[in-house]
Amino acid sequence: MTRDEGTYKAQGERAAKAGTRREGTYKAQADRAAGNAAPAEKATRRRTKMVAPPNNYLVPERDALLTPVLECRHLGIDFGGLKAVEDLNLMVGKTEIAGLIGPNGAGKTTVFNLLTKVYQPTRGTILLDGQDTAGMDTARVSREGIARTFQNIRLFDSLTVEDNVKIGLHNQVECGMWSGIFRAPRYWLSEQEFHKRALELLDVFNMADNADDIAGSLPYGAQRRLEIVRALATNPKLLLLDEPAAGMNPVETEELMDNIVKIRDQFQIAVLLIEHDMDLVMGI
């Protein structure tokens, strides 16, 4: 047995105990080191074929004939004499999973703040599903279809898990103020609809059983998932995830990778994420 073969076998045993899918990767590496490699197995996640539409940006082949959900043209913002973002050009296809990577301080979160109108751009254009977002505020952009999570978890810790998700449904309220004050039939109908929808969304992440738990009492990984569920409750076209794997252990990161793909496939939306974990970025 070579030293490399022994190393890969030991890594495979640790991966098997941790319950991750990297066990197979290490086993294949050990086989290659031993000189008896078997034909490579098909990857768990099917790779997306990228094509170049007429504008020369790369998008998934399935989105080539559709209007991009997001397009940034020469986007930039200045803070006094500091150019925080300069000449950013970006396109995200209708059902694409894209990553925004770079070193700390490169302006990645600032780009998210520009897309969600926390900051107004100094120059450039942002098109959401073909519509110029110039002049929109954060509430309008949310209604038009952009939702986000944050680097630091921002939940309503003292509210239940279900109530946190219901807050994300605010842009779909159809009853008026007076119906709410006097508890009119329309109010109770809306409450029933929101309860059902909240449980459906929680079930996507296997959190329906936690609906009555206090959000602040959840483990860290579960709070991260809840923040994503609340963002999905706004019924977005584009989901922005700001370092979603921050603070997660390897098992939770593997689960997050599966959940991001599930979100894209089940909700047929685009996902743009900021992440420093390159295994996660390249794995999806």
According to DSSP, the residues that pair with 166 across neighbouring strands are none
pLDDT of residue 143: 92
Q: Which amino acid is at 44?
A: T
| One-character DSSP codes across 77-141 | EEETTEEEEEEEEEEE-TT-EEEE---TTSSHHHHHHHHTTSS--SEEEEEETTEE-TT--HHHH
Local confidence band at 275 (pLDDT 50, 70, 90 cut-offs): confident
Average pLDDT over residues 40-56: 56
pLDDT tens for each residue of 186-214: 778 888 888 999 999 999 889 999 999 99
pLDDT at 278 over 70: yes
pLDDT of residue 38: 44
**Given the DSSP bridges, would you call strands 238-242 and 146-148 parallel, antiparallel or unpaired?**
parallel
Gap between the Cα atoms of 145 and 237, Å rounded: 5
pLDDT at 255 over 80: yes
> How high does pLDDT run on average in the chain?
83
Give the closest residue to 223 by CA, choosing from 197, 198, 252: 252
Q: Tell me the two tokens of residue 247.
A: 């603070």
pLDDT of residue 260: 93
Q: Quickly list H helices, the chain.
A: 3-18, 22-34, 108-115, 138-144, 161-168, 177-181, 185-204, 220-232, 250-267, 278-283
Could you tell me which residues come within 8 angstroms of residue 139 by beta carbon, excluding any fewer than 6 positions away?
A: 171
Q: Which amino acid is at 231?
A: A
Give the closest residue to 124 by CA, choosing from 68, 84, 167: 84
Cβ proximity of 212 and 159 under 8 Å: no
Q: Structure pTM?
A: 0.76
Burial class of residue 154, CB neighbours in 10 A (0-12, 13-18, 19+): exposed
Give the closest residue to 171 by CA, choosing from 201, 141, 203: 141
pLDDT tens for each residue of 74-126: 999 999 989 999 999 999 999 999 999 888 888 999 999 999 999 999 999 99
pLDDT tens for each residue of 150-198: 988 999 999 999 999 999 988 777 777 777 787 878 778 888 888 999 9
pLDDT tens for each residue of 9-47: 555 565 455 555 454 544 545 555 455 544 444 445 566
